[in-house]
Amino acid sequence: MLRTTRASLAVFLLLCLLGSLGPLRGELAPSPATSAFPPWLLPAWPYLLIAVLALACTVLRRQRWLPAKLLTSAIFVGLGLFVVPNVALRVVESWVDPFTQVILLALTPVFTVVLEPHIAGSSTQPRYALAAVTTAASGLLLIFPFSLPRSAFDAAGWLILLLAAGVIATAYCTVARLASQHSRQSGTSLVAIISSTSALSFLFISILASTLHLRFAAQQTSLIWSTLIEASSLLLLFWLLPRLSASRLTTRFILSPLFSSLVSLILLRPTVTARDVGGLLLAAAGSAWLLFAPLTKCDAPVSPLNLGNNPLL
C-alpha cells in the first residue's frame, strides 16, 4: 500500500503548478523567429533528455533492467501518458474549443478511480473517491464555458478526447502497478523505456508532420521552456509514480486548470461571478478530499476488467 507523505503531496502540487503555466508559455518563453535547434526535435526534446539521464543512472548504478515480459506494458505507458493526449489535442484543436478540451480531459481521474482497483491492483482508495472526483470535475464545468457537439466533427472530437482520457487513465493505472512493484530494483530502467518510447514517437510524428507540412512541430515552444518546465515536470512525475496512487496522480487534470484559473484571477482580475466561486470551491473541495482523505479498503470484484496479473498490463 502506498503511503502518501507530505513531501509527495508538496511535489505533486508543484507539478500541478508547473502544468498550470502552459497557457502562459507564449508570454513566458516565446519561440524565437529563427533557431539553430531543429524544430522537429522540440516535441521530443524533454523526453529524450529524461531518457538519457535515466539510462545513464541505470548503467552507472548497475540497476536491474525491467523484466522483458513487462516491456510491452512500459511501451504502452509511454504512449498512453504522453503521446496519445498530445496527438489527440492536435487532432481536435479545430473541432473542439480549448475550454471543452480541458473539461473532457478532466474526466481522466473519473476513469482512473473506476479502473484502478482492477488494473493497478490497488486495494485502497479514499472513501467516496468517485463522488469526490466527480464533484471536482463538476466544478470545472462551472468555471469554464463549454459547448456541446453541433456537428459530426464536433462529436468526433468529443469521442477522441473521451477515448484519450480512458487511455490516459489506463496508462496511469498500469504504471502505478509497475512502479510500485519494480521501482527499487529497476525503476530507472522503467523511466528510460517510457521516456524513450515517447521521444521516438514524437520524433517520428514531428518528422512526418514536417514532411506533410502539418502544424504539429510548428506549435511547439522554445527550447528553454522544454528544458526547464517540461523536463522538470517529467522528473517530478516520475519521482511521484511509486509514491502516489493513480487516482491521486490524475487529479492533476483538475488541479492544473484550477491553478490556471487562480493565476488569471490574480493577474487579470476579471469579474468574478457566484458561478465562478462555486466552481472553484467544488473543484478544490473534491480534489482536496481525493488527496488528503484517509485510505479505506475497496474490494474489487472478479470481472473481465481484473487485469492485475496480466503481464501485458
Buried b (16+ CB within 10 A) or exposed e, 52-74: ebbbeebeeeebeebeeebeebb
Q: Which residue has the higher pLDDT, 149 or 294?
A: 149
- What does pTM read for this prediction? 0.86
pLDDT tens, 19-73?
A: 988 766 665 555 555 455 565 577 788 999 999 999 999 889 888 888 888 899 9
What sign does the dihedral 268-228-173-127 (CA atoms) show? negative
Segment 152-178 mean pLDDT? 94
Q: Which residue has the higher pLDDT, 268 or 262?
A: 262
Confidence class for position 3, pLDDT limits 50, 70, 90: low
pLDDT value at residue 71: 92
Amino acid letter for position 264: S
**Which grid cell is 169?**
487513465
